[in-house]
Structures are given as structure tokens and as C-alpha cells.
A and B are shown apart, each in its own frame.
Chain A
């Protein structure tokens, strides 16, 4: 192995943990990453190759000026012991090859939902369900959007009782923190139960 577990001062290097922030376009992914990150969110770019994308999948991208796809991410240091990396994954299904890289070995995912376009989050829900990745749904309460009762949203999502659904405001740090705590709690319980999430 090439890996070294200690830094130059002999301290242990922090262990990195990945969390995905998913959801439809405009659901508030980047906003939430920015609200909870301790650093200014950064952007990582992946080059689109035909390896991961079927030809018909990039049909809509050909007019774009770049052939890269971007992912915004932020970081939270936990007691110098862990580094939580929050990746706001690109919403469109054609970028799922990028999700795979973040999702493999991740702690879990937050699916952000917008009640004005609830169906936009269904592909993300499917994605995590199929891969047994623990996730919670956070309903971003946009100003001006009709406020729904949590039960109404839960019923519309048809998730089953195991997946927590909560309301949040993606712009507010405290709200984002609560969402992350709920996710980690849910992930802990899911993994304890075993492979059947």
C-alpha cells in the first residue's frame, strides 16, 4: 500500500467521509452545500467522455460550450478526526456516472425536494434505493411555494416508513446541520440492521 496514515507532525490524517446532496435542478443543492460548508464551496470538473455516457444521452449537451460537468462541494471538519465532504451532485440523469464515483463508499445521501416540482427528486430516490445507500428526503421550503404538511409530502413520495422525510431551509446553516445529523443517524441505524436498508 502507498498510503501513510500520519502527517509530518506525526498526527493522524483525518478520515474522509462522503455525503451526497442530490435532487432535481434548482432544488437547492449548491445552496445547502454553501450554507453548511466551513470553506467557500469549490467546484470540481469532470471531463465528459463517451465511456460513461451513451451517445443519445449527450444529445442535449452538444450545444454547450464546454464538455465538462461540474460538481460543487464543501467540507466540514469534525474534531480534526473526520472530514465530511458534501457533494452537490448534478441533477440530470445523464450525469449519473459521476454520482457513482461519489456514491461508492459514501456514508449516505440527502435528497432535496422542491414541493413545486416534487417529481424532480424521484430519479434520485430511485438511484439510492436501488443501490442500498442510506438516504433521507429534505423538503426545501421555498419562499412563495405552497406549504405542505409533512404527511402530504410523505404520501406523495410513497417511500415507506423507513426513510425519514423532513422540512428544511437550504439557505440556513442550522437547518442544514439538522438535516445532516438526521442523515448520519439514519445511516447508523440502517447499517446496524445490515444489508437490508
Chain B
């Protein structure tokens, strides 16, 4: 545990106290009550750090490719601890008890979609979710029945 006021320099080479100017920030005396997260996540760092930590820095899913509207559902297999999944993985599995799109999962969890895609890749790999890719093929987009069904459905709303 890092006590308040102590620079968490060891984990982040090059960001030790005293090198603030390198990071483009004016050197400030460490304020007593400021917690580590506030001190190290400034405007420049933005909200990026947490999402990348959740995915261990990965940008690409290990398996599958996920469109914004790829539909996802949990398979019902238990997300047992030995699978080594993080709390964010667990949260995705819980959300996907009902069918949801990738965009909705990201929206509910308030995570960037790039992060959610990586989490979903892990879950697909462990067999915890099934996915349905969006119907973007030409057959679907030229299927007159699809258009008619959507028009009827909209009228009926």
C-alpha cells in the first residue's frame, strides 16, 4: 500500500517526483490530501489509464471481431475464479444475461468500446458468451422483406 503523499514512482519509471517538468507539468508541491489517482491522472493523461489497465494494455481482442452492434449474450457458464477474469469481465457477463449490443455494453459500463471489445474477446475465448455478427452482407441489405418488416414494425410502434 502506498501511503498518501508518497510518490508511487517505482511502478512508473520516469515519473518520479522531481521529474514533473518532463511530463510537461509545472512542479507542484505534493498536496497532502490528494490521492494517488488524482495526482497521476492529470488532463494530459485523461481517462486513458484505467481502460488500458483493465485490458493489460491490449488494444485487440484475442478472439472474434466486434462491431458496435454485434449482439452478445452470456452462455450461462459460471465465470469461475480459476478463469482469472477481472471485475470488468464479470460485469460484462452479468449484463449479458440479456442480449445486448457491444455499444450498449460499453454505454452501461461507461467504458470505451475499444476496452469492451478486448474484454469480450477474452469472454468469447473462455466460452462465456455467444455472439451474433450484424447482418451487413449484401443479401440482407437487398432483402425487400427485411425493409418491409422494419417499416411495418415502425408503423406499429
Contact = CB atoms under 8 A, between A and B. Distances in A.
B157 A45 contact: no
Contact of B107 (A43, A101, A192): A43
A47 B114 contact: yes
Interface stretch (B8-16, B82-90, B125-133): B125-133
Interface residues of B, number: 50
Contact of A181 (B48, B113, B136, B151): B151
Given A43-B107, A47-B114, A191-B141, 13 more contacts: A3-B132, A14-B99, A17-B69, A42-B103, A44-B103, A46-B113, A67-B46, A67-B47, A75-B104, A78-B149, A101-B67, A181-B155, A192-B142
A107 B103 CA distance: 17
B135 interface: yes
Contacts, number: 139
Given A47-B114, A68-B112, A73-B107, A17 B101 contact: no
Given A45-B113, A177-B157, A14 B149 contact: no
8 contacts: A42-B104, A43-B107, A45-B111, A66-B46, A67-B48, A177-B155, A188-B148, A192-B142
What is the interface of chain B mostly: helix, strand, loop, or mixed? Answer: mixed
Interface of A: 2-5, 7-8, 13-18, 42-47, 65-68, 73, 75-76, 78-79, 81-85, 87, 101-102, 104-105, 107, 177, 180-181, 184-185, 187-188, 191-192
Contact of B147 (A43, A73, A187): A187
B149 A105 contact: no
B93 interface: no
B103 A73 contact: yes
Contact of B131 (A3, A79, A187): A3
